[in-house]
Structure 1
Amino acid sequence: MLHDFQIKYLIFIMGLLISTNSFSQNKTGFKPSFKKSKKTTHKIPEDQAYTFGYLEVLENRDKPDGYTIKLPIYIFKSRSKNPKPDPILYTVGGPGYTSMLASKYMAYYKYLDDRDFILFEQRGTQYAQPSLDCPEWANAVYESNLPSFDAAKTDSLFQQAAKACNERLRKKGIDLNCYTTNQIAEDIQDLINTLGIPEYNLLTLSYSTKIGQVLMRDYPDKIRSVVMDSPLPLEVSYDEESVGNLLETVSMLLSDCENDDKCNAAFPNIKSRFFEYLKEKTINPLQVEVENPNNRALETFYLKGEDLISVFSSAYTSDVPNIPFEINKLLNNDLTSVKEQLSNLFQEPGAGTGIGMRLSVWCAEEYPFNSQEVIETQTYKYPETKGLSPATYDKNICEIWGVKKVAEIENQAISSDIPVLLISGAYDELTPVKWAESMTHNLTNAYHLIFKGWKHGPTTNWSNPCAMQAANDFFNNPTKKPNPDCFEQIKIPEFKTE
């Protein structure tokens, strides 16, 4: 969710459908409004009661006679005959990802047992109008991942893509400076006021935990409680730490394997062997031949440590028990899983939906606060992944995107006494446990749950809804740390050994 490492070859970005860019010009001053619509973004099961519509707000609040934008909103009715009066508002991570996909799965959301549930789409994402899609960027990702691509041309390829997308969006009248976290927070506040909601709860995930922090800082009066799943603190310089966090988390998982008698017997010294393997392949890349499904020709990939570590970084929580087994296959030159991943790279590129919004957020809020010296040092610090830049977008890309740096306050920790539940996955390399722990110092009514053996986004682990249960328990009683029975049963995973 937060960081496409853009590890050459192994990271494949799936495209989404392009939403229609549309503006309306307001000539007489403006007041936010919510208008119901029969046409929804997704088909909702017949037994789920809901209201769907669009929140219309100003793109630029400093221009009351300027363009307006429309954000799709679902208000799902609680399954309870006597629902609690304070709804939950949910928006997902990214930045640039759509929240609307969750609309199809409300039957699995425990929150509806007690409350109404509002699904909010952030400005610039897939179903918002306009959607800041960048097919140019998706094409660049696709082209750069092909084995025939000249790696020396990578920088110029992405710079050209950013320039083309930027120019196209600006020609449509889109103000790219207006797609930032604090603007999204204001959109949510406008929705709450427009709907006349006196008090509500916030459910946030990954990047959207930043939106939650801004709301807690700037608009705290109506917020009853907040759940932050995989939190990203405002004050963290994400890019400066990303590669180090990745290696630390891999080390943690492999140490857990070595401390488990069965796993260690099957894969002795797996941590040191894997790290040495990554170092060696960084110097002497692994050569892998894969059949191109489009023409049946054999194509040769050359994989370095920065590529091969994706055996961990591309895994989900459900994949965790298999990670040592998959690493051992790699060490024994069993390349079946690697070839399967590589074959996906020949699929056609997607639409790059939401990439423009992601670029605006990152280049206004993250890049300006990063130390370029630290970024350069981190790129070459670790011999296992030497050459892997921790930067989500490099300096040249952000200079091309040309958005203004946000105010200093957007990079500073918040303080609040609003009840907060912080949820972390112990093996989360994207938003590590230490970040959530650091937030507890300034949040006086905060509780922190760490899910052993889990990765990013515990509340979205559909194979085990324990984190969702904990979040719902907290919404029902935000003065107490939740401790559902399922949480006590979660242990370090039983690793697959054969």
Structure 2
Amino acid sequence: MGIKSGFRSTLGAGLLVLAVTPLSAQEARVDDRWADLSKCELSAGGGRLTASALCGTLTVPENPAEPDGRQLELAFAVKQARASTVLADPIVFLAGGPGQSARDALPIMQAALHELNRERDLIFLDQRGTGGSNALECSFDDQGELWLQPDWAELNEQLKACLAEWDAQVEFYTTTQAAADLDALREAYGFERLNLVGGSYGTRLAQVYLRNYPDRVRTVVLDGVVPTRLALGSEHAMMLDRALEKVFEDCRETADCAEAFPQLSEAFAELKARYRDNARDIVVTHPRTGQGIDLPFNREVLASALRFLAYNPETQMMIPYLVHEAARTGSPERLASQAMIVTDRMNDMIAIGLNFSVGCSEDWPVWPEQNDQSETLLGNSMTEVYAQVCEWWPAGEAPADFHEPFDSDVPVLLLSGELDPVTPPTYGNEAAAQFSNSRHLIADGRGHIVMTNPCMSSIATQFVREASVDDLEVECMERIGHEPFFLDLLGPAP
């Protein structure tokens, strides 16, 4: 393997041979930490957030059994520590999806990791198949509408076309191989141990790394926990319904929301029944182009709309207003418009080929046989799409113990959002029971991923610095709750 300087095509592309001096467990000299990397600017949220970093690439074999065969260049970014003396156990952020770029998350996560970045470097390695690491991206026709109105048969056919075009053996794009890539980066720079911070699917990658390289991990933070045994995606429908009902319950217990939107659960049930086998033709304005888009609003669109609105605590608070309006007036245009704003931001976030490389290799082989969720909002859509794609996808093999629980002496901090629609607190409880040296914290009123909340960030900072789940200062969590509900178009209630 080798290290290569540069960030995509904008920086130098000459291969460098490094003589890496192992770092002590305590500190590294500032002048020789990342001398081979180049300055770069990263952005997220359509350019609304930016960050300066150092960027480079790591060269690894695509097929681990053929070390001299086809090579991959894995892109990574480093946010250098600000102190003059730097601790030699960096923070590694592991992104979600599967399919998200870790480097794309740097401008977002740098605030949550700011205090830890004082004395530790932050590393963001794009998992193979994402971002700048031979991304398995597929440009679908009408991509924005695809997220909102999934056509699984069309997606299936377009995926086949993309697979034929990718220069990749996708069976080697798995979580186990991603963990091996991360360890190759660790070894290349001589780090003895890493501190792992995983979000959503990144919590699976963190756990796989911990299982496979236990002596190389100092601490683990799992935010939005994917339990070891879970076939990821198989319970999405049930968890979405759970989160929505919890939002409705919170509305009923908030006086102004309950008054504005009475009988919210009944309105939700009415919407599901109304669009179960029927569609209404509506026109939705595209948030970027301003063009009107003809959209048949049916159960699939309703499910996609509410699903993506349910991820974020701010957009969650729009749901009672939007559900009430759509049920009372029979006009779901505003609900669809808000959902399109959210889904439009997702278009460039997920390398969908990596999603299926992971899912068909690791999850579909253990998918529950009795998994009828037809009575939920999402229904059996996850089962249907995986059944279609995994029938022909070149899947890799997961280790026999991949979904078997395991324990570790490494301290593990587990974080969950009370209203998380995909990785609920019950998953965190399950993982906490698995790891004997762990603590699980649930943030009231929060959705998917909670470490961006200043209180939760401060707790994670203390945990990593002390490498202990004992005596954490969690009093600030008493002030966390859901955001104010939207009562009208003027915005949230004061």
Fold agreement, TM-score > 0.5 = yes
Which residue, 396, 405, 422 being the options, matches 2:397? 405
Which residue, 178, 199, 208 being the options, matches 1:205? 199
Tell me if structure 2 keeps the 8 A contact 1:48–1:77. Answer: no
CA distance in 2, matches of 1:67, 1:326: 51
Within-5 A mapping of 1:94-493: 94-104=97-107, 108=111, 109-110=113-114, 111-128=116-133, 130-135=134-139, 138-139=140-141, 141=143, 154-169=151-166, 172=167, 174-290=168-284, 300-315=294-309, 316-333=312-329, 335-338=332-335, 340-341=337-338, 354-371=351-368, 373-375=369-371, 377-378=372-373, 380-382=374-376, 384-386=377-379, 388-391=380-383, 393-460=385-452, 464-479=453-468, 480=470, 482-493=472-483
CA offsets 1:215-257 (integer angstroms, 9 cap, x no match): 1111010211100000112211233211111111111111121
- The 1:349–1:310 alpha-carbon spacing in structure 2 relative to 1, beyond 3 Å, is closer
RMSD: 3.5
| CA positional deviation for 1:206 | 0.6
Tell me if structure 2 keeps the 8 A contact 1:132–1:353. Answer: no
223-232 or 351-360, which moves further after superposition?
Answer: 351-360
Q: Across the two proteins, how many residue pairs are aligned to each other?
A: 450
Q: In the alignment, residue 436 of structure 2 is paired with which amino acid? A: T
- The 1:346–1:319 alpha-carbon spacing in structure 2 relative to 1, beyond 3 Å, is closer
The higher-RCO structure (CA 8 Å, 6+ apart) is 1
| CA positional deviation for 1:341 | 4.2
CA distance in 1, matches of 2:461, 2:388: 43
Tell me if structure 1 keeps the 8 A contact 2:40–2:53. Answer: no
Partner residue in 2 for 1:38: 38
CA distance in 2, matches of 1:253, 1:54: 43
Q: In the alignment, residue 36 of structure 1 is paired with which amino acid? A: D
| CA positional deviation for 1:344 | 6.3
Q: In the alignment, residue 337 of structure 1 is paired with which amino acid? A: R
CA distance in 2, matches of 1:450, 1:346: 27
- The 1:351–1:119 alpha-carbon spacing in structure 2 relative to 1, beyond 3 Å, is closer
| CA positional deviation for 1:400 | 2.1
CA distance in 2, matches of 1:299, 1:51: 41
Q: In the alignment, residue 73 of structure 2 is paired with which amino acid? A: K
Q: In the alignment, residue 482 of structure 1 is paired with which amino acid? A: L
- The 1:181–1:41 alpha-carbon spacing in structure 2 relative to 1, beyond 3 Å, is farther
Structure 1-normalised TM-score? 0.80
Tell me if structure 2 keeps the 8 A contact 1:139–1:349. Answer: no
CA offsets 1:280-330 (integer angstroms, 9 cap, x no match): 221443442446899999765332334224453222122233322222222
176-185 or 103-112, which moves further after superposition?
Answer: 103-112
Tell me if structure 1 keeps the 8 A contact 2:459–2:474. Answer: yes
Q: In the alignment, residue 252 of structure 1 is paired with which amino acid? A: K
CA distance in 1, matches of 2:481, 2:365: 40
CA distance in 2, matches of 1:447, 1:291: 45
Q: In the alignment, residue 216 of structure 1 is paired with which amino acid? A: L
Q: Secondary structure at the match of 2:60?
A: strand
Q: Secondary structure at the match of 2:100?
A: coil
CA distance in 1, matches of 2:335, 2:317: 18
CA offsets 1:157-200 (integer angstroms, 9 cap, x no match): 2232122112222xx3x211110001010111111111111222
Q: Secondary structure at the match of 1:338?
A: helix
**Which ranges of structure 1 fall in alignment gaps of 5 or more residues?**
1-18
CA distance in 1, matches of 2:76, 2:343: 36
Structure 2-normalised TM-score? 0.81
Tell me if structure 1 keeps the 8 A contact 2:277–2:298. Answer: yes
Tell me if structure 2 keeps the 8 A contact 1:35–1:54. Answer: no
**Which ranges of structure 2 fall in alignment gaps of 5 or more residues?**
1-7, 21-33, 45-49, 489-494
CA distance in 2, matches of 1:70, 1:485: 44
| CA positional deviation for 1:41 | 6.2
| CA positional deviation for 1:212 | 0.8
CA offsets 1:89-120 (integer angstroms, 9 cap, x no match): 11211111111123445762322133221122
Seq. identity, %: 26
